Amino acid sequence: MLAWLEERTGAVSALTQFLTEDVPGGASYWYVFGSATMFALILQVVTGIFLTFYYAPSAATAWESTKFIYDKVPLGSFVISLHYWGATAMIALVVMHLLQVLLFGAYKKPREVQWVVGVLLFLFTLVMGLTGYLLPWDLNAFFASQVAINIAGTVPVIGSGIQTFLQDGATIGTLTINRFFGVHVWLMPALLLALTGMHLAIFRHNGGAGPAVDEAELKKMKPGRFWPNQLFMDAVVSFIVFALICALAVMSPAPLDDKADPNQTSFQPYPAWYFLSLFGLLKYLPPNLELLGTVVLPGGLLTVLILLPWLDRNPSRRLSRRPWLVSITALTVAGTIALSVLAQMQIAAGRAASPTVASSVSAPTGGSGTASTDTSGPGAKIYAANCSSCHGASGAGMPGAFPPLAGNAYVTGNPKAVEHTLLYGLNGAIKVGGATYNGVMPPWKGTLSNADIANVVTYIRSSWGNKASAVTEAQVSSVTK
Ligand code: HEC
């Protein structure tokens, strides 16, 4: 039978050749991350195809069809949770794979092209995470993606073009879901599978890079075999990864918030964990440095990664002879983790001070220079319930997405203009503190009474160091569109 198949397809010799590969320096658990990432990719493809059988991309059906998968489809909740935790696993594994290759110096000649393809795979995996985040169309999907799209909009020159492309229009809606769906289900998977194929083909051409020692030492080491040694280790780890994903899917199913609703303005969006560090960076950068966080640092890091084989001319692969690479890598990893932890703490604090808990707002904040902030008046409660989710509890806003109200000359300027903004909303690009914002501020006429609007305008004009006159209900009533 085998001879018959071999004669007609060459499959048997191809497989034998594939399996009889030398592993320089011997098989090792250090080399399993690449194959484990590929396993996670296959799991995402399989579970993803299952989800497309039910999912219907449009503002009227995205959330409903996702809910249907949870409630009605046999094993639906389990498969959606496998997809959810599989994404986490794939990103964690691709990062570990990248770090291992980095520290082992495996990107050096002759593996430059393989490395560049790998960095692109890492980037596209993140794009998959970002585009998948919107699809369930729940509150968090909506507001977190709004932040992400607004951040893309801050890129100089091409930003507004990218924003319009991603939204496919002026606001987030059905067309946005379709764009993200197309990217998530067709474009990125096609690129990921094609590039993974290239990555493997080039890998076969160059062979494994082996341990982090220099060429001469490597030659003296006895090579291991791909089959059965390395393949066994790869299989063990992929199996452990699969078992973990299954356990997490059962114990902690993927969350689904209420359906997306642009008027649910007190909702606090939270990013996926792998974007927490970026979120933290934006939180802590002053608004006039926001481009540093949205473009310069992430773009710089990506450029350095892509060009690394040419930037790093050090011929040695031994860690002890590459102090620069080791220290920069350690600093970057530590910085990313620290920013993520800070961002997580911020989000937790924001939740604690969240709208419904008006009492936490009226609690005295201690003598920390906020003495002029009247935290107990009616304006404070209206602000906490309706505005703090976007503009922040202390009026600091969020770089790239929501302008600060503290220290904002527009807020403390002509009261009529501020009242107008509150009543009728605002969109189009505005400049605050040197940074551009181009989002949508919802209109409040009808949602808030004129008295409430007067109170909240008085509040933002006299809080967080702002010092400007109070406004009255009569003034608000006199403002016309
Ligand atoms: C959904 C998020 C969101 C909520 C909730 C929100 N805002 Fe805004 N706000 C924005 C955005 C985005 C802008 C900038 C609009 C633009 O770019 O044109 C803005 C702009 C403003 C401005 C104008 C700032 C300037 O410098 O021109 C003021 C004042 C303001 N908001 C006050 C408030 C108050 C008070 C509330 C609560 C009643 C509130 N906002 C609730 C998103 C929000």
Question: Predicted confidence band at 356 (pLDDT cuts at 50, 70, 90)?
Answer: very low
Distance in angstroms (rounded) separating the CA atoms of residues 295 and 418: 31
User: Taking residues 169-177, what's their average pLDDT?
Assistant: 85
> Measured in angstroms, how far is the CA atom of residue 107 from the centroid of ligand 1?
47
Structure token digits, residue 246:
């299954």
Q: Which of 94, 117, 100, 110 is nearest to 35 (CA)?
A: 94
Residue 352's pLDDT is what? 62
Per the omega criterion (within 30 degrees of 0), is the bond before 110 cis?
yes
Question: Predicted confidence band at 374 (pLDDT cuts at 50, 70, 90)?
Answer: low
Residue 364's pLDDT is what? 32
> Is the torsion defined by CA of 113, 114, 120, 123 positive or negative?
negative
Ligand 1 atom nearest the C-alpha of 386 is 37
From the CB of 117, is ligand 1 less than 6 Å away?
A: no
Residue 67's pLDDT is what? 95
pLDDT for residue 440 is more than 50 = yes
Residue pair 191/124 in contact by the 8 Å Cβ criterion? yes
pLDDT digits (tens, 9 = 90+) for 83-121: 999 999 999 999 999 999 999 999 999 999 999 999 999
> Measured in angstroms, how far is the CA atom of residue 441 from the centroid of ligand 1?
5
Residue pair 249/48 in contact by the 8 Å Cβ criterion? no
Long-range Cβ pairs for the range 185-193 (8 Å, 24+): 185/48, 185/52, 188/124, 188/127, 188/128, 188/131, 189/45, 189/48, 189/128, 191/120, 191/124, 192/41, 192/121, 192/124, 192/125, 192/128, 193/45
Distance in angstroms (rounded) separating the CA atoms of residues 55 and 223: 49
pLDDT digits (tens, 9 = 90+) for 228-262: 889 999 999 999 999 999 999 999 999 999 999 87
Residue pair 334/424 in contact by the 8 Å Cβ criterion? no
Cα→Cα distances 402→16, 392, 447, Å:
59, 9, 20
> Is the torsion defined by CA of 108, 112, 117, 123 positive or negative?
positive
Q: Which of 267, 441, 455, 456 to mutate to test the pocket of ligand 1 (most atoms within 8 A of CB)?
A: 441
**Nearest C-alpha to atom 42 of ligand 1 is from which residue?**
441
Distance in angstroms (rounded) separating the CA atoms of residues 33 and 233: 10
pLDDT digits (tens, 9 = 90+) for 115-160: 999 999 999 999 999 999 999 999 999 988 988 888 888 888 888 8
Distance in angstroms (rounded) separating the CA atoms of residues 412 and 467: 7
> Is the torsion defined by CA of 278, 281, 282, 288 positive or negative?
negative
User: Taking residues 47-60, what's their average pLDDT?
Assistant: 96
From the CB of 427, is ligand 1 less than 6 Å away?
A: yes
Residue 353's pLDDT is what? 57
pLDDT for residue 193 is more than 70 = yes
Distance in angstroms (rounded) separating the CA atoms of residues 327 and 336: 14
Residue pair 456/379 in contact by the 8 Å Cβ criterion? yes
Question: Predicted confidence band at 355 (pLDDT cuts at 50, 70, 90)?
Answer: very low
CA dihedral 266, 272, 275, 279 (to 10 degrees): 20
From the CB of 34, is ligand 1 less than 6 Å away?
A: no
Q: Which of 336, 338, 332, 308 is nearest to 104 (CA)?
A: 308
Residue 368's pLDDT is what? 33
From the CB of 468, is ligand 1 less than 6 Å away?
A: no
Distance in angstroms (rounded) separating the CA atoms of residues 392 and 399: 11
For residue 265, count other CB atoms closer than 10 A to its CB: 18
User: Taking residues 271-298, what's their average pLDDT?
Assistant: 86
Structure token digits, residue 151:
């951040």
User: Taking residues 164-169, what's their average pLDDT?
Assistant: 81
Distance in angstroms (rounded) separating the CA atoms of residues 166 and 187: 14
For residue 401, count other CB atoms closer than 10 A to its CB: 22
Residue 297's pLDDT is what? 92
Q: How many CA atoms lie within 13 A of 129 on its CB side?
A: 22
Ligand 1 atom nearest the C-alpha of 150 is 12
Q: Buried b / exposed e across 65-89, counting CB within 10 Å, b at 16+?
A: bbbebbeebeebbbbbbbbbbbbbb
439 vs 264, residue with greater confidence: 439
Q: Which of 154, 429, 122 is nearest to 294 (CA)?
A: 154
From the CB of 83, is ligand 1 less than 6 Å away?
A: no
From the CB of 418, is ligand 1 less than 6 Å away?
A: yes
Residue pair 329/312 in contact by the 8 Å Cβ criterion? no
pLDDT for residue 371 is more than 60 = no
From the CB of 459, is ligand 1 less than 6 Å away?
A: no
Distance in angstroms (rounded) separating the CA atoms of residues 453 and 447: 10
pLDDT digits (tens, 9 = 90+) for 421-437: 999 999 888 888 788 88
Structure token digits, residue 148:
């992400």
pLDDT digits (tens, 9 = 90+) for 312-343: 999 889 999 999 999 999 999 999 999 999 98
Mean per-residue pLDDT over the chain, rounded: 88
Residue 200's pLDDT is what? 94
From the CB of 387, is ligand 1 less than 6 Å away?
A: yes
Q: Which of 139, 391, 449 to mutate to test the pocket of ligand 1 (most atoms within 8 A of CB)?
A: 391
From the CB of 391, is ligand 1 less than 6 Å away?
A: yes
Residue pair 346/283 in contact by the 8 Å Cβ criterion? yes
From the CB of 70, is ligand 1 less than 6 Å away?
A: no
Angle at 378 between CA 374 and CA 382, to 5 degrees: 105
Residue 261's pLDDT is what? 84
Q: Which of 34, 163, 144, 72 is nearest to 427 (CA)?
A: 163
User: Taking residues 466-477, what's their average pLDDT?
Assistant: 89
